[in-house]
Amino acid sequence: MKGRWRYTRLPSQVDDALSAEEGEEEEEETAPAPAPVSAPAPEDPVGPQLAEASQVLGASEIRQLSLHLPPRVTGHPWSLAFCTSRDGFSLRSLYRQMEGHSGPVLLVLRDQDGQVFKWTGSNSFFVKGDLDSLMMGSGSGQFGLWLDGDLYHGGSHPCATFNNEVLARQEQFCIKELEAWVLS
């Protein structure tokens, strides 16, 4: 049976802050303190173990993503193989850091508007990369997601591969942070 791409809008950290303010009184009285991002509660069987903190994903986004991961990566630690804040804005550096990693990879980025791109639960997607750009999804001569070689500029368009809408507020954007997590 072929999988169908499903995009789920993850709340941004701004959305998390707004919802926290709305339910602040109730949360203070009834809810225990949230668990740190890198150490999920032991009773959470699908919560990933992050080797280091994410600059892009908050705790609620990590929990949401972990619910959609394929079973073969559930329970495996997430290892940060690349991040622009540590490794710089260079596609060549991303490729160098990913060399030798053969397991599944989760690529996440936040743009200059603070948007974290929608993610899909399916795992059969098409990727094309060279030293000048990295592209995901295609159709009608445009890419679902395109990143340039310096990992500073990106673009997003609707594409037939994923049947997606534009993944950011604007079709062209500047990348603020990008991370590549190895999930095995």
Q: What is the pLDDT of residues 115-158, one digit of tens each?
A: 767 544 443 446 889 999 999 887 777 888 999 999 999 999 98
How many separate domains does the chain show? Answer: 1
Residue 16 lies in a domain: no
Rounded Cα–Cα distance for residues 168 and 162 (Å): 15
pLDDT over 60 at 17, yes or no: no
Q: Name which residue leads in pLDDT, 9 or 50.
A: 50
Residue 2 lies in a domain: no
Residue 31 lies in a domain: no
Look at residue 151 in the predicted model and tell me its pLDDT. 94
Look at residue 167 in the predicted model and tell me its pLDDT. 85
The length of the chain is: 184
Residue 28 lies in a domain: no
Residue 173's domain spans which residues? 59-183
Rounded Cα–Cα distance for residues 60 and 111 (Å): 19
Of 109, 115, 112, 149, the residue nearest 133 (C-alpha): 149
Q: Which helix (H) or strand (E) holds 30?
A: helix 24-30
Residue 142 lies in a domain: yes
Residue 76 lies in a domain: yes
Residue 26 lies in a domain: no
pLDDT tens-digit readout, 33-87: 444 444 444 444 547 888 899 999 998 888 888 888 888 888 888 999 999 999 9
Q: Name which residue leads in pLDDT, 102 or 152.
A: 152
Residue 29 lies in a domain: no
- Which burial class, exposed, middle or buried, applies to 12 when counting CB atoms under 10 A from its CB (0-12, 13-18, 19+)? middle
